[in-house]
Structure 1
Amino acid sequence: MTAPNVLLTGLMYGESPRWHDGRLWVANWGTGQILTVGLDGASEVVAEIPTTIPYSFDWLPDGRMLVVSGQEALVLRREPDGSLVTHADLRALGEVFNEIVVDARGNAYVNGSIVALVTPDGRAQEVAGDIAFGNGMAVTEDGSTLIVAESHGRRLTAFDIAEDGGLAGRRVWAEVDGPPDGVCLDAEGALWYADVPNQRCVRVREGGEVLRMIDLDRGCFACVLGGPDGRTLFMTTAEWRGMDRLHEPHRTGQVVVAEVSVAHAGRP
């Protein structure tokens, strides 16, 4: 594994990183923007989201982007012309939603204090409750398992995905010693998770064994594997000053990269 290097600076809080169409995509919380970033560090604003923190995104199989408008409890859909329309209304299920992951069938899982399933036609239902501050989520390569980072529970929780998209077989995938944030899976079945207060990104296997740890100089909010061979680990980092100062216009956010030995798998 190579030492981490800074790819991009000047973000507020980078979140929901995704490798898509040969580029890194990042939600720049505090600005309402979604950016793309090349491997040379060049960035471009590709979408403006009319919401405040939080918002996150992923793609339907047909290429249209879904965006969680967190404070409004809506899932928006970005049409080919760039317009945003409501894909699903989650207000009957909860007040605030956070992260999203879309599986190969177009089912979207959206979390907060619950996990909601949004089917491709926009129907929404609760499929898991009592989530202790849901953050990053990942779907395994075979589409059989959803893993949810429960930040306040300091655990990664797994569910079996049923044919209809429902969740069953809830179990602790791993107990961890920090609040897990954004996550991604690799081809050996291990999972990387971001850790804001401990300023690190950690690779663990099911059961909780720590396989690798990358120490950083500021909080790590999310991570994703990507790049041409899937072995570039992109980490979004920023100085964390607490929830009461979340909306202050500090620009300490960065995208940090490291080359790792095991490639991406699953979704996102």
Structure 2
Amino acid sequence: MSSPKSSAVSAKVIVEGLAFGESPRWHEGRLWLCNWGTGEIVAVDEDGKSEVMLTVPTVLPYSIDWLPDGRLLVVSGREGVLLRQEADGTLVTHADLRQLSKNPWNEIVVDGRGNVYVNGGGPAPAPGEHFGPGTIVLIMQDGAVRQVAENIAFANGMAVTPDNKTLIVAESHARRLTAFAIGDDGDLSNRRVWADLGNDYPDGICIDAEGCVWYADVPNRHCVKVREGGAKLDRVEADRGCFACMLGGAGGRTLFIAAAEWRGFENMVSDARTGQVLSAAVSSPGAGWPSYNSGRR
């Protein structure tokens, strides 16, 4: 596996004063993200002007994506429900995940066919551990919910390739990206290691038009572009943990990074406001799901 280039892509700060930014998505010309610890979902333009779009009845974790018809979905992680925002702004239950696990749920991705994948949950953690083995569940358009993968080593960011045939998930504790084939019915199969990341711990991810993945890394304080097989091509360094990243902006060639100082799980909800949004110009635009230019959002 090759190492990243010695020279990193430079980034600039466009937003400060967040708690923990997570689940960034490019939607209707702005970057939307979850401001963990506050219940806020915030939209930010490329100049850094931010607006609170709504407040959800949870603190953390929560994550967002959109249905093909444009309605917003919100994973209310600790409460074990997937919420849907209706046209009048109200939030209703789209799916109840408590039947599958009492443990918190984490990330979401909606593919180009409307399949909704949510990860987290799973068995109870071992004594002294924060997380047990994670799962991935599929929510069908009729509301049916079923588990489609298990034994994920701390399930984090997910992305789907532009052809809707492959789902990639960050296994943070295994330091790898793992891929599944997506069947016609939305089921996942043919699990394989997409990239072994060495000493990196992938968190949020997104795909570019070259078929590479950008992943954020909290302990190593950077985002890295990796090719299938593990070759690392570029990186963006930060002075604090990188929790998630998303391609967007004009032409989709801006990498947005949600970063914050990491003080441990026990201090995730606090008055500290070290969260930032960084932006860096990159060569290849976003692709797949979630994406800035996917045809439906």
TM-score category, normalised to shorter length: over 0.9
Find the aligned partners of 2:48 and 2:271 in 1 and give their Cα distance. Answer: 22
CA contact (8 A) 2:109 2:116 kept: yes
Q: What is the identity, as a one-letter code, of the residue corresponding to 1:253?
A: G
2:174 equivalent to 1:167: no
Q: What is the identity, as a one-letter code, of the residue corresponding to 1:175?
A: D
CA contact (8 A) 2:10 2:237 kept: no
2:26 equivalent to 1:19: yes
**Matching of residues 76-91 of structure 1 within 5 Å:** 76-91=83-98
2:262 to 240, 243, 251: 240
CA deviations on 1:191-237 (whole Å, 9 max, x unpaired) are 00000000000000001110011111000000000012000000000
Partner of 2:147 in structure 1? 126
2:54 to 47, 55, 66: 47
1:34 to 10, 30, 41: 41
CA contact (8 A) 2:9 2:235 kept: no
1:189 to 211, 223, 226: 211
Q: What is the identity, as a one-letter code, of the residue corresponding to 1:224?
A: M
CA deviations on 1:105-142 (whole Å, 9 max, x unpaired) are 11110001100001122211000000111000000011
Q: Matched residue pairs, number?
A: 268
CA deviations on 1:5-32 (whole Å, 9 max, x unpaired) are 0010010000000001111101000000
Cα deviation, residue 188, structure 1: 0.4
Runs of 4+ in structure 1 deviating by more than 6 angstroms, as ranges, are: none
Partner of 2:111 in structure 1? 103
Find the aligned partners of 2:18 and 2:142 in 1 and give their Cα distance. Answer: 34
CA contact (8 A) 2:204 2:216 kept: yes
Find the aligned partners of 1:120 and 1:136 in 2 and give their Cα distance. Answer: 22
1:9 to 2, 6, 16: 16
Q: What is the identity, as a one-letter code, of the residue corresponding to 2:19?
A: M
CA deviations on 1:88-108 (whole Å, 9 max, x unpaired) are 011111221100000111111
Find the aligned partners of 1:158 and 1:135 in 2 and give their Cα distance. Answer: 13
SS in 1 for 2:189: strand
1:66 to 68, 73, 78: 73
Find the aligned partners of 1:259 and 1:213 in 2 and give their Cα distance. Answer: 11
Partner of 2:200 in structure 1? 178
Find the aligned partners of 2:268 and 2:171 in 1 and give their Cα distance. Answer: 20
Compared with structure 1, are the counterparts of its residues 132 and 2 closer, same or farther at alpha carbon in structure 2 (3 Å cutoff)? closer
2:230 equivalent to 1:222: no
Percent identity among equivalent residues? 61
SS in 1 for 2:173: coil
Unpaired segments ≥5 residues, structure 2: 1-7, 121-133, 291-297
Find the aligned partners of 1:3 and 1:212 in 2 and give their Cα distance. Answer: 11
1:140 to 161, 183, 194: 161
CA deviations on 1:74-98 (whole Å, 9 max, x unpaired) are 1000111110000001111122110
Partner of 1:256 in structure 2? 278
1:149 to 170, 173, 198: 170
Q: What is the identity, as a one-letter code, of the residue corresponding to 1:38?
A: D
CA contact (8 A) 2:217 2:243 kept: yes
